[in-house]
Amino acid sequence: MLTLVLGGAASGKSGYAESLVLKTALPRYYIATMQVWDAECAARVEKHRKMRAAKQFETVECPLHLENIRLPARGTVLLEDLGNLTANELYDPAGTGENAASAILEGLDQLAGQCAHLIVVSNEVFSGGADYAGDTGRYLKALAQVNNALAARADHVVRVVCGIPVYYKGVEK
């Protein structure tokens, strides 16, 4: 089962995705894609790790190369989020660069094969317009490629607006 949860900044998409996972049996894995650049990032990661542990998530830090993840047992996976992962793959020297979209999709396929349910959180793109140049355009295009391909494969596609889930594919569980 694959669910794509989309939304804008502070839309409630992450909270909604977590609520879906909390309805499932253990084990629960949280794939965190944020890169740690400084002490502030490290503190944020530690705070989130503690919050997730209280919800019985096992956190897997993976800012690059999803294809390297090996889960110890089948369960439910929450990947947070494709926006970070795409930027990391595009711009980190150790990332996949111009091949970011295809590498991420291959990694998602491998991850989906290791779990009973994969819930992926991503950002809406192009709601503010479509004419972007340079690195911004490159990033938005890559993320849109991943979102579109993932939506086509997904059993459920839901957009969260002001905390309200709106299903575009599948039905709310």
11: helix, strand or coil: coil
Q: Which two tokens stand for residue 85?
A: 């992962």
**Strand pairing class (156-161; 164-169):** antiparallel
51 is in an annotated binding site: yes
**Annotated catalytic residue 65:** no
7 is in an annotated binding site: yes
Of 48, 65, 117, 156, the catalytic one is 48
Hey, CA dihedral for 9, 11, 16, 18, is it positive or negative? positive
95 is in an annotated binding site: no
173 is in an annotated binding site: no
10 is in an annotated binding site: yes
9 is in an annotated binding site: yes
Hey, CA dihedral for 10, 67, 153, 31, is it positive or negative? negative
- Residues of the binding site for GTP: 7-14, 49-52, 61, 80
Could you give the residue numbers annotated as active site? 48
